[in-house]
Amino acid sequence: MLNAETYVTKEKGIGGTIRNRYEDFYVEEIPIENLLPTGEGPNVWIWIEKLGRTTLDVLMDISRDLHISRKRMGFAGMKDKKAITKQWICISNMDSEEQFEEVKALDGEIYNTKFLKIVRGQKKLRMGQLEGNKFKILIKDINTDYSSYQEAANIANNIFKKLEVSGVPNYFGWQRFGKPRTNTHLVGKALVANDLAEAVRLYIGNPYEEEPEEVKLARKAYDDGDVEKSLDLMPTGMRYERIMLKELLKEKNKLKKSSTRINSSNNCINSYNNINSNNESINSNYNEDNNSTNNDISSHNRDINSNSIDFSLNDSDFNYLNDKSYKKAIFALPKPLQRMFVHAYQSYLFNEAVSKRVAMGINKYIEGDIVIDNEEHLIHNESPEKLQEMIFKFEADPTSPLYGTKVPFAEGKVGEMEKNILIEENLKKEDFECPKTPKLGSHGLRRKMRFKIWDASAKATEDGVLTEFSIDKGSYATAVLREIMKNDVV
């Protein structure tokens, strides 16, 4: 896992690989019972099963086919792409029976997606409204040091028992950052640094060696300053890159047209000056008009210069783009993806803080810790002994910072460690305001540095070791598998 160094368990891992097939990785959402749809109400809930698709892709396909805004669609959490997953989604304000029938008619029409239930409900579904997730994950290619899959399964069960007592480090998995194109957090870092051009370049350009050749060519075209060529070459499956490129192309054409008008005005004025240079009377009248025209043009040029447009002689499209252009491209993306960039950078720093805090003792209270209960409320005025007891019983957890403008630091040696991470990144908390994109800024929060695992087991199969377990919402199954396998789990 990116920026995660510490393990809780000492056993040698069983090695292996996961996701050899999408069917080897199964995720099922554990809903909050009192939120489930009752059969009546203005909203339509769909219990979906998807294969090899992101949650956001499915929602965008449904909104497209229903001709509605994606903003009317809610879900409790993003589920893995490279997996079979089940989860609830909700479409708000679908009052009529005709609309309900339109939703039912989509069953079987959305790529690699099944509608297992379609039910009316009074409530809407919002991000975070779930209890957790249950997993069934097959580990293949087990380390050959083990004589049998059963021996490996025994080791996995021993590790599970220890994790059920201690908890699991609450690392963010590779899904948060992207793999093999691990750049989401780098885009976020650029946004925190207020470098919008670099943020867009990192997302659209910046080809990775592991990518398909046609994608690399499209990204290189962008890096070379040819937005239109990049759009032409970018495969249709690269939906979000294409959304941004279309916005940038529209901006480039608009600003280039504007610059052409300015140059044309200047040329006309110069010609007029030459023709009438010897005519004192006309020249006198002209100068009065010319000063006014020049003032208008100078003002226009000042407006353009204030937006940092460089109309130089080379042909790079970047000469016709500015911070406003890049901002429009970023905000053309779906809102969950917009927010993901800075969140990913926060997650990158969080992983480092967790790694260092876990090394001090994952289920141990350290003087100065900020501790939260299971409702994520800060715990005040409890003795160290009481806090230790609550942590041992999973009634409370120590936290680490998702850095932001208002996140509090722990005290003592834990707090010093947290502050040093920011210093090493040459950051201050205020930087997370993201002044050029304030909607993407973050106050930050304290997030528990471990999570609970239950109903955990491992058994040998013909193909490897099948693991089953349930974990809290917002936590990553790969953080569990990392302890079992002791390798880089993707």
Residues forming beta bridges with residue 467, ordered by sequence position: 137, 458
C-alpha–C-alpha distance, residues 74 and 48, integer Å: 13
Report residue 314's pLDDT band, with 50, 70 and 90 as the boundaries: low
Q: Where are the alpha helices (DSSP H) in 108-212?
A: 149-166, 184-192, 196-204
CB proximity list for 377: less than 8 A, separation 6 or greater? none
Arithmetic mean of pLDDT, 113-123: 97
- Burial degree of 207 (CB within 10 A; 0-12, 13-18, 19+): middle
Given this model, what pLDDT does residue 175 score? 84
Given this model, what pLDDT does residue 476 score? 94
pLDDT above 50: residue 194: yes
C-alpha–C-alpha distance, residues 390 and 383, integer Å: 11
C-alpha–C-alpha distance, residues 400 and 369, integer Å: 9
Given this model, what pLDDT does residue 178 score? 86
Q: Of 153, 154, 156, 158, which is closest to residue 462 (Cα–Cα)?
A: 153
Using an 8 Å Cβ cutoff, are 55 and 340 in contact?
no
pLDDT above 60: residue 378: yes
Tokens of 350: 């969080």
| pTM beyond 0.95 | no
For residue 453, give the H/E element and its range. strand 453-460
Phi first, then psi, for residue 283 (nearest 5°) are: -60, -40
pLDDT in tens, 42-57: 999 999 999 999 999 9
Which residue in the block uniquely carries the two structure tokens 């294969």?
Answer: 51
Tokens of 418: 């947290």
pLDDT above 70: residue 219: yes
C-alpha–C-alpha distance, residues 402 and 344, integer Å: 10
Three-state DSSP class for residue 469: strand
C-alpha–C-alpha distance, residues 264 and 261, integer Å: 5
Q: Where are the alpha helices (DSSP H) in 276-366?
A: 280-306, 323-331, 335-358
Phi first, then psi, for residue 151 (nearest 5°) are: -60, -40
C-alpha–C-alpha distance, residues 480 and 482, integer Å: 5
C-alpha–C-alpha distance, residues 191 and 326, integer Å: 11
pLDDT in tens, 141-160: 999 999 999 999 999 999 99
pLDDT above 60: residue 97: yes
CB proximity list for 257: less than 8 A, separation 6 or greater? none
Going across the sheet that includes 445-448, the strands are 371-373, 396-402, 445-448
pLDDT in tens, 431-443: 999 999 999 999 9
C-alpha–C-alpha distance, residues 247 and 32, integer Å: 39
Residues forming beta bridges with residue 117, ordered by sequence position: 47
Arithmetic mean of pLDDT, 461-472: 97
Q: Which of 24, 80, 369, 472 is catalytic?
A: 80
pLDDT in tens, 242-281: 999 999 999 999 988 876 665 555 555 555 455 445 444 4
pLDDT in tens, 225-244: 999 999 999 999 999 999 99
pLDDT above 90: residue 310: no
Arithmetic mean of pLDDT, 464-473: 97
Q: Domain 32-130: give its CATH architecture.
A: 2-Layer Sandwich (3.30)
Three-state DSSP class for residue 9: coil
Q: Can you list the positions of beta strands (E) in 338-449?
A: 371-373, 396-402, 445-448
Using an 8 Å Cβ cutoff, are 72 and 92 in contact?
yes
Given this model, what pLDDT does residue 257 score? 82
One fold for both 32-130 and 337-451? yes
Q: How do 465-472 and 453-460 pair as beta strands?
A: antiparallel
Q: Can you list the positions of beta strands (E) in 22-129?
A: 25-30, 43-51, 73-75, 84-91, 113-121
pLDDT in tens, 393-412: 999 999 999 999 999 999 99
Arithmetic mean of pLDDT, 95-102: 96
Report residue 94's pLDDT band, with 50, 70 and 90 as the boundaries: very high
Indicate the domain borders of the chain.
Answer: 32-130, 205-333, 337-451
Is 472 labeled as catalytic in the residue annotation? no
pLDDT above 80: residue 65: yes
pLDDT in tens, 420-432: 999 999 999 999 9
Q: Of 93, 190, 86, which is closest to residue 130 (Cα–Cα)?
A: 86
CB proximity list for 149: less than 8 A, separation 6 or greater? 142, 460, 461, 464, 465
Three-state DSSP class for residue 66: helix
Phi first, then psi, for residue 4 (nearest 5°) are: -115, 125
Give the number of residues written for the chain. 490
Three-state DSSP class for residue 25: strand
Using an 8 Å Cβ cutoff, are 287 and 277 in contact?
no
- In the CATH hierarchy, which top-level class contains the domain 337-451? alpha beta
CB proximity list for 256: less than 8 A, separation 6 or greater? 320
C-alpha–C-alpha distance, residues 144 and 90, integer Å: 46
Torsion of CA 45, 50, 56, 59, to 10 degrees: -40
Angle at CA 280, nearest 5°, toward 278 and 282? 95
